[in-house]
Chains A and B, each alone.
Chain A
């Protein structure tokens, strides 16, 4: 069980309206990622679900029960914090057992559950250490262990990987995804990293200034972004936007072309000069200054040997042009 429904939820801090009325429903077992730029209200939304912030208005239902006024512990949710929030004075074992102790479980039961969680998370050899003696990745695993033992209706993750280095982040990302496959529990995950969102989510909720811009599967958002914001936010490198005469040719205000949907080949419709070539090995990102449509980012194969100052001819792949009206909404 782990169905969460938010209806007409709002949050204001003083005069600042952080979350305008918002509706969202999260299905049981789903991996939902809240993504958006800093300050878009994604963490606030997660804290509202957790019960760490009070709603200004609206209602939250967890598994069909009204949890609007329920304190955090009674919502049946577990949270993993950005800073891990481990208890520094307790051993790993005691950290993981803390929620069980609070639930007044017998010592035998506590031990059984802690050992089980430690086994799943490869922490068995570290149970007697203090958090200060662990690496970042291990600390994160302890934080997850503390969440697992509660057998919550849903896990809430607040940017859990942002304090880790790049390599560890990839590993932990996979571990969390695997954990979701194993436990099949609802997970709500907040990140500003769209790569994390794309790779982990069943469903992505793109937030901007507290509003939901679009909800959908990663590929839905990639293929059919609802507006300019989502089109620009999902996908890396970011989509190229072209306005003016070129857009008018397609009967809209703005057109968008993803860097991977632009081909470098003789006879292309746009001519330009390579300003910067970033060689990543498998791919190369080109910044091309065109004569007609401004600067374009282009993703080409790493095999292609292009450098600063080279003249290139570019053209969008057929059927890969996104069209947006003057309000930024996608048009057919």
Chain B
């Protein structure tokens, strides 16, 4: 039996949902507000902040002081690059786990996921030394590698879940029809899993775009993405809230817009397979 919903009950839930949504979004909103204030106004009491004058001064100054375009481009290269490399590795890996599982496949999946539970700082020193010795410090290639590796378990897990939903008989039919492994993955599996692959791609781009541990530790300027761009405005000499907020807004805007337009795909992707 469907649960009865009264008008009051619906009103309460609606208000509660909007309140929670607003609370979650508030820090981002506050950053956006601060970015349109002068440095002096930005440190006033909240009420005074809201009533003070609006200005684009911080944006102009941020543009002058640092190269937004370069950081933005690095973020694009790192997030897209690491996602594509991860997909190229994860699609065959998830295929084999979903369709020709061995005795230890489940254990392997759990083990892969468990690596995500390890604190990244635990391997900072060896990673740093490896990067130094291979000349990868502050290079895009090195960071693409690291971002690929840290997100690979999630990408494989997500694709594995999607692939499990595809009936094995269809792949067997393709095999009977003369498809070799490559054709099977290319013409049958991948097109059938497009919605799944798309949401995996989106999620991974977002995770890679927001990754702020390795990108801060292993880059300085050449390969520095937007996370480094934000961090450069928080210095030991003191915080410049307005400029920091302007930089942050510029850094998160692209991914926020991407997330906004693809939210349907993302939600579908994250809940896929949860309900048959």
Contacts and interface: CB of A to CB of B under 8 A. Distances in A.
A50 B176 contact: yes
Interface residues of B, number: 18
Interface string B175-206: 11111100100011001101000000000000
A103 B172 CA distance: 16
Interface in A65-101: 71-73, 77-79, 81-83, 85-89, 98-99
A83 B188 contact: no
A16 interface: no
Secondary structure at the A interface, as helix, strand, loop or mixed, is: loop
Contacts of B179: 73, 98, 102
Contacts, number: 58
Chain A residues touching B, range: 20 to 34
Contact of B177 (A52, A82, A89, A146): A146
A308 to B, nearest CB: 41
B178 A99 contact: yes
Nearest to A73: B178
Nearest to A97: B177
A81 B172 contact: yes
B174 interface: yes
Most chain B CB inside 10 Å of its own CB: which residue of A50, A89, A103: A89
A150 interface: yes
B176 A72 contact: yes
Nearest to B166: A88
B29 interface: no
A81 B173 contact: yes
A71 B175 contact: yes
Most chain A CB inside 10 Å of its own CB: which residue of B167, B177, B187: B177
Interface in B5-20: none
Contacts of B173: 79, 81, 85-87, 146
26 contacts: A52-B172, A52-B176, A72-B172, A73-B175, A73-B177, A73-B179, A77-B176, A78-B176, A79-B173, A79-B176, A81-B172, A83-B169, A85-B170, A85-B172, A86-B173, A87-B173, A87-B188, A88-B170, A89-B191, A89-B192, A98-B174, A98-B179, A98-B187, A102-B177, A102-B183, A146-B177
Given A78-B176, A83-B167, 8 more contacts: A50-B176, A52-B172, A72-B172, A78-B177, A79-B173, A79-B176, A102-B179, A150-B177
Interface of A: 50, 52, 71-73, 77-79, 81-83, 85-89, 98-99, 102-103, 146, 150
